[in-house]
Chain A
Amino acid sequence: MFPNPFDYYAPETCDDVYALLHEHGYDAKVIAGGQSLLPMMKLRLAAPEVLVDVNNVADLRTMAVSDTGLRLGALTRHAEMERAQWPDYPLLSATAGHIADPIVRNRGTMGGSLAHADPAADWGAALLALDARVTLADAARSREVRLDDFFVDTFTTVLEPTELLTAIVIPAPPRESRPFGQYLKLERKVGDFAVVGVAVTASLDDAGRVVTAGIGLASVGPRPLKAQAAEALLVGQTLSPAVIREAAEAASQAADPVSDRRGSAEYKRTMVRVFVERGLAKIQADWELVNRASA
């Protein structure tokens, strides 16, 4: 199948992108990796009149680590995260390897995935767990929005048609703690969208107490979800089986799945509980391993 005809621009600066978006508004779509937009255009589920290809914009390809956090340009490819080794952000590489297949990972971008806002996408869950923010900019202004405030509904975000998602900012884990991360995904078959995806991250101090915790859920709601009540239950606690069980139960209550061909709502909710439990148990086991090694 072929897409409808469209005009194509490939600007090299953010300012040129802003100008094009300003000019074409709702008629334009930004294309980065094109791993979601192009199939939708071929199926004629999307028919933008103008495509603004941002792959040539160098400013969107930056990565910067600082004491306060990690700033990733919107064009960061999934595969770059799969290969990246940032000890402070273990959830990123843990998640990237689960995304689709190597071809999609080589081309698809983190910014594109977030802006597309598919509730089944893996980055949404992982970056919610990491409490990330996104930078949205147009010619007049730039604003930073918490990811939890960014996602509105299925395929819907607060991004204005004139705005470009330029970067993702992930806060650094607290000092005096060690971060851990696990991404667990139930898929019907290799490379499929998640039936249920669960991102779990926690920073533990030397005593094994949770300093910060994050739990993000994919495919179990109209948008990627952050299981805040479950996160709150973990902070200040050591990851005992009872604490883990309680948090897992709370996370499963935060899920809002629907029954479909991938599974019943009840099954998906159960899977959230099992995966959060397994993710936290693995984090505890990893912490014990590290602690024993350093002792």
Chain B
Amino acid sequence: MTRVVGQPVIRSDAWRKVTGASYYTVDVTLPAMLVGKLLRSPYAHARIVHMDISRARQVPGVAAVVAGNGRASPWGGHIWDQPVLPADVVRYRGEPLVAVAAESEAAAEEALRLVEVVYEALPSVFDPEQAMEPGAPLLHPQMMEYWRNEAVCRPIPGTNAVNRTRFRVGSVTTGFSEAAAVVEATFTVPGIEHVTLEPTAAVAWWERDDRLTVWTSTQCPFVVRDQLAHVVGLPLHKVRVIVPDVGGGFGGKGNMRIEPYAALLSRECHRPVKMVHSRYEEFVGSTIGHPAKIRIKLGATRDGVLTAIQTTAFYDTGAYGDSGEMVSWQGGLGGAGPYRVPHVAIDSYAVYTNKVPAGAFRGMGWPQMLFAIESAIDMLSARLQIDPVEFRLKNLLENGDRFVTGEVLESVTLRECLLKAREAIDWDAPTPPNRGRGVALVMKSSVNNSTASAVVKIHEDTTVQLVIGAPEIGQGSHSAMAQIAAEILGVAYDAVEVTNPDTAFSPYDRGAISDRTTFHLGQAVYEAATQARQQLLAAAADWLEANPADLEICEGYVMVKGVPARTAPLAAVARRAYRVKGGPIIGEGRHLEEGIVPLDPLTGQSPKAVSHYKYGAQAVEVEVDRELGMVKVLRVVSVHDCGRAINPIQVSGQIEGAVVQGLGLALWEALQFEDGQVMNPSLMDYHVPMAPEIPEIVPILVECPHPHSPFGVKGIGEPGIIGVAPAVANAVSRAVGIRIFDLPLAPERVLRALQATQGRAR
């Protein structure tokens, strides 16, 4: 039995958020602070022939102008392919070229207007498949010379493919020869924007003695610190990254963004420089979710047993890798879906094109991949005239099955999730005309090399400081971490204060990404709290003259088990520890998943590819207006195995939020490109889901404890977005008999498909 863990406590930042007391990076104001602005490339691909910034420097109020990469090293996620400010070539429309810091926004903009640049346009390429053809313009001819992390970034020399991840199991030739039915289809997913409520923002202050302090809206303070130190050439102890409250990330704030520009400007003038993206800049100059083109060939026996799958995925990563290599790596893992398939061939590519870089986005390649897989599964089940749920139940992964990596899976709950989804959506009930229900399975891998650490300090009054390096980005992790600490320490939930990250004081953490905080950092917090508890009990043991092993903490007291008379108030124990014994009570915890083995480059085989996998199922009911082509989602049932809910309300909240984002991908969201230019870079023209459009969402939690995590938790931040789009597409297919291969399911696209099947309605 747990006391705090599992309780629907109110999140610790609720009051701040609701009353407007939250303090974001845009709220940071320092004396003598300047405003920074960027000049962005109007060309998708061009050589910089000549640049003159002298007139910009003369604008009154301008304090610094920086251009060219002479004083900043190239950087990247798993490949260092990106100049901070390119000196020779620009590779996408919107790429920053010149940064200006000035007393006012008007002065900064005037200075940018006076920068003279002469470009020589270069041939460009915008489609990832075309970009892989021989003779396509190369964005990075020197790609093989860049530093890279070979475990997840394997470029194909002489091409635009920055990564290929391959999986080979059995022989697909054999597999397809055993199949009674085979479906083949190509699916496309558009690029989408994260649309965080708080845009990218940073304040940098480079003091005269070369100490750099940066306040920033990021998911990964230590990653930003490392990347900043690398590009400006400072040791880590001279770079301090502080993270105030963060208004959303969704993967868009996992790497350095606007921070280096603010830092380079501040280096010039030693005054603090604040930079905030406009919403327009968020669309054209941050990162986006990957557009993808995915080909699937899938075969099964007459009885509906899958025999083979061949998957080729092209993730369009834009001008720079950012996290694209990792997206194609993770998405590739999903290339056979959550199914038991004896013969598998998967090739997953990340390909450079002359577009805004695509990077991490909630789901990391899996939403695109499972849109294709789960659509193809329904196509094949229809071909075989087998109920889609039954077809999945026959083929889904179970405990002890081998994954495409060859690893044996544990704690798999796909069957349970799907059965719950089937029941909750009332799968077998008849539907009126033009209505239909659809399902899709959910699976997601978590990130590797995910170091986490935590410090628990118990103050003299037994209130607790939990010091961690993972930011609260809206997902509620601070509250979950406080619950874990409070549970172990035997104190009240609100006696634990979680500090926002500051790399000068917080212990190292990989960041708030990939569903990793509760799973990985949770283990570190668990260990740190356990250690602090032991110190507290040791202090009490001395006082109560008992063996620490015989002590327990209960409702504010330390007591000797079974001897109610021998107790000491917790606060008195803590005070005594400080005043009599003279030492602070500080526990430390750390976690790094062990035993991860890089994938075999040719076959993708590994005894342990990632720390853990997450499982779930989505079911939706839709109604299609045949005349307008409008798809209305009436209900979403979203079932996920979170292992153990530290806070059930927040788990449901994460699922609901992710499902809404999934509905956006299914029905509305798409960045429209013309010659590499984003044509709908505003919230007027880019349609994020709005409150009146959201149907009933029913989150259902399955709690199958993970064998190796604190209280059995599994990650839950991402899975909710995965599987929504294919469930909707499958439901539309069952409602009106059309198959949509391209997202989103926009009215005009649906209407065209309807007209194609029926001939014109009239």
Contact = CB atoms under 8 A, between A and B. Distances in A.
Interface of A: 186, 188-192, 245, 261, 263-264, 267, 270-271, 274, 278
Given A261-B680, A274-B627, A274-B628, A188 B687 contact: yes
Nearest to A271: B628
Contacts of A261: 672, 679-680, 685
Nearest to B625: A274
Given A261-B672, A263-B748, A271-B628, A190 B685 contact: no
Contact of A264 (B627, B628, B748): B748
Nearest to A189: B687
Interface string B673-708: 000000110001101001011000000000000000
B750 to A, nearest CB: 11
B668 A189 contact: yes
A190 B748 contact: no
Given A261-B672, A263-B748, A267-B748, A190 B693 contact: yes
Contacts of A245: 762
B751 interface: yes
A31 to B, nearest CB: 22
Contacts of B687: 188-189
Nearest to B748: A267
A188 B748 CA distance: 11
Contacts of A263: 747-748
Nearest to A195: B747
A239 B537 CA distance: 86
Contacts of B684: 192
Nearest to A278: B627
A40 to B, nearest CB: 14
Interface in B710-754: 747-748, 751
Contacts of B751: 267, 270
Contacts of A189: 668, 687, 690, 693
Nearest to B680: A261
Contact of A186 (B628, B679, B685): B628
A64 to B, nearest CB: 36
| Most B C-beta atoms less than 10 A away, residue of A189, A263, A267, A274 | A189
A267 B679 CA distance: 20
Nearest to A188: B687
B680 to A, nearest CB: 6
Contacts of B679: 261
A278 B693 CA distance: 22
Contacts of A274: 627-628
Given A261-B679, A264-B748, A267-B748, A190 B692 contact: yes
Contacts of B628: 186, 271, 274
Nearest to A192: B684
A267 B693 CA distance: 22
Nearest to A267: B748
A89 B374 CA distance: 52
A176 B729 CA distance: 51
A270 B755 CA distance: 12
Nearest to B626: A274
A36 to B, nearest CB: 13
B109 to A, nearest CB: 10
Nearest to B755: A270
Interface in B430-451: none
A242 B606 CA distance: 68
Nearest to B672: A261
Contacts of A278: 627
Contacts of B693: 189-190
Given A188-B668, A261-B672, A261-B685, 17 more contacts: A186-B628, A188-B687, A189-B687, A189-B690, A189-B693, A190-B690, A190-B692, A191-B690, A192-B684, A261-B679, A263-B747, A267-B747, A267-B748, A270-B751, A274-B627, A274-B628, A278-B627
Contacts of A188: 668, 687
Contacts of A191: 690
Contacts of B672: 261
Contacts of B690: 189-191
A107 B220 CA distance: 44
23 contacts: A186-B628, A186-B747, A188-B668, A189-B668, A189-B687, A189-B690, A189-B693, A190-B690, A190-B692, A190-B693, A191-B690, A245-B762, A261-B679, A261-B685, A263-B747, A263-B748, A264-B748, A267-B747, A267-B751, A270-B751, A271-B628, A274-B627, A278-B627
Nearest to A270: B751
A85 to B, nearest CB: 24
A186 B747 CA distance: 10
A192 B682 CA distance: 13
Contacts of B747: 186, 263, 267
Contacts of B627: 274, 278
B620 to A, nearest CB: 20
A271 B748 CA distance: 10
A271 B747 CA distance: 11
B105 to A, nearest CB: 10
Contacts of B692: 190
A255 to B, nearest CB: 16
Contacts of A264: 748
A105 to B, nearest CB: 16
Nearest to B692: A190
A261 B681 CA distance: 12
A155 B762 CA distance: 36
A192 B692 CA distance: 13
Which 8 A-B residue pairings sit nearest by Cβ, starting from the closest?
Answer: A274-B627, A267-B748, A189-B687, A190-B690, A190-B692, A263-B748, A188-B687, A189-B690
Nearest to A2: B106
A188 B751 CA distance: 15
A264 B746 CA distance: 12
A221 B687 CA distance: 24
B350 to A, nearest CB: 28
A233 to B, nearest CB: 17
A67 B693 CA distance: 43
| Most B C-beta atoms less than 10 A away, residue of A188, A192, A261, A264 | A188
Contacts of A186: 628, 747
A274 B627 CA distance: 7
A292 B693 CA distance: 36
A259 B128 CA distance: 27
Contacts of B668: 188-189
Contacts of B748: 263-264, 267
A199 to B, nearest CB: 18
B42 to A, nearest CB: 19
Interface in B632-687: 668, 672, 679-680, 684-685, 687
Contacts of B685: 261
A274 B747 CA distance: 13
A103 to B, nearest CB: 15
A270 B762 CA distance: 11
Contacts of A267: 747-748, 751
A121 to B, nearest CB: 16
A186 B625 CA distance: 13
A261 B684 CA distance: 12
